[in-house]
Structure 1
């Protein structure tokens, strides 16, 4: 049995080998699929069989089925009393923390449930791919080790039986030196790749990484190469021996990450107005505890040209940047909220007076002669 409460307290960085081995053995022996199982509509039938979710669309369908089965008829939310049919009161509080906006209101929206189910499917899918690639790499390494052991056993057997004399061994060793000279660099590369994959292991399948200034998703891991996907689904093959020499940023393994928004306001803005700006920003961040941590700072970085204040807002997300789409949406909402606050508080930036010089570059038209005549002239 697994105590879920104790499982949540386990830190990914501090889990011991014995605990990890016990969890793996338990999951392996239980026959559970590494991908989420959908709830069949024939739940009450005794011969029900779960089928794995294989796409985001199926995950969306599952979320709709769960919402329909849990929420009251014609309700737009799942409320606490609906969850009490399945969980204890203490567990309901933990469940609400998983869904966006549910911790404060006590209600789970249909969209929040859908996002959570899709995210759970994607996480389990990445785990399944990672396990499959690790299993493939271990099999390849096992074949290589088996070949080396067989060769050593044959050599020892020939020596013990007396079939291999000293002259034969000298000839074989000379041939091995030639092979080592020809394939020495390849063996060195393969050894470095094995060390990188099994000992260093800086990423898993599905992790978002930053390499050479380019963000990429790990698509496939092999012993010698790793396949990445760029933002436009372009595949890039990196030799693992080359990756071992590069600094790699792993967003998925990072803790909750910080972000910043920089802007300028007029130097003539009153101090009281800046204080109101800080209060409004604090109210907005506190109203979205699922998106932002409470710790943030609004600082004045510099006074530029004696007419504008160069300011920066530093905030901390409640997630890392593995899901870059969610990060961009949260930051976009924050920037739009700042614009709304600026409009409400009449905070703006005005340019300094500028000198304007006018010049005429066209040709001067010829002067028309003025002739004055008397009324009596003919």
Structure 2
């Protein structure tokens, strides 16, 4: 009851931020509150948890809101170019008073190892972010103008050149074992000790049953001795 009637942190339809999550209040009951996130998910939270452990940011009840974005530029970018970049962005905000209140600044957040310059750009909206779609429309138009200005001023950022060296790869245990398997096994006998197939073929005697063939080749018949008759 104290949370509803005394504190009364929001009303139905308000855009709130709890734990950096933006949600619209859809139902405000006695014991719980129903929210709908900007991505469509529905969240039901007990009021006892909200009153004791959560910080509630009411966007609808807020005034004009600021927003920041970060840009990386090369370390060799001249300071005069950065000043011109800031001046053109501020002029764009002044030329669109219906969307922007007029506050815009470009500051150097940090320099990283003489490699890049991190810029942080802060801009002030004309109103709060209750109209969630209009907020993103304003932001997108400003981002497009920022890109056009950076292209015209040739503001870029490139990763630093990294040295690359190629070292010979040492064979691992598997590669060494595969190399040993691929090596042909050499015979331990000298070449002269291994008889050739051709010589062994020529040395094999042949017998023929054709007598004419035997006489033509110059070999007589083999003599046979018959046993004496009994």
Greater Rg over alpha carbons, structure: 2
Report the Cα offset of residue 358 of structure 1: 2.8
Q: 1:235 to 1:347 in 2, by over 3 A?
A: closer
Of 198, 202, 219, the residue aligned with 2:9 is 202
CA contact (8 A) 2:69 2:121 kept: yes
325, 341, 347: which one aligns with 2:133: 325
Query: Aligned partners of 2:15, 2:124: CA distance in 1, in Å?
Result: 19
3-state secondary structure, aligned to 2:102: coil
1:235 aligns to 2:52 (yes or no): no
Residues 221, 227 of structure 1: 8 Å contact kept: yes
Conserved? CA contact 2:16–2:25, under 8 Å? yes
SS of structure 2 residue aligned to 1:278 = helix
Q: Deviations over 1:305-362 (max 9, x none)?
A: 1121111111100111222222222112212211111110111123322101235669
Q: How many pairs align? A: 172
Matches within 5 A, 1:31-50: none
The structural deviation recorded for 1:199 is: 0.8
Q: Secondary structure at the match of 1:296?
A: strand
TM-score, with structure 2 as normaliser: 0.68
What are the ranges of 5 or more consecutive residues in structure 1 without an aligned counterpart?
A: 1-193, 364-378
Relative contact order, CA 8 A, sep 6+: which one is greater? Answer: 2
4+ runs deviating over 4 angstroms: 359-363
1:299 to 102, 107, 128: 107
Q: Is the 8 A contact 1:261 1:335 kept in 2?
A: no
- Greater helix share, 1 or 2? 1
Q: Secondary structure at the match of 1:198?
A: helix
2:156 is matched with which residue? 348
| CA RMSD between the two structures | 2.1
What 5-or-longer segments of structure 2 have no aligned partner?
A: 176-230
Q: 3-state SS of the aligned residue for 1:260?
A: strand
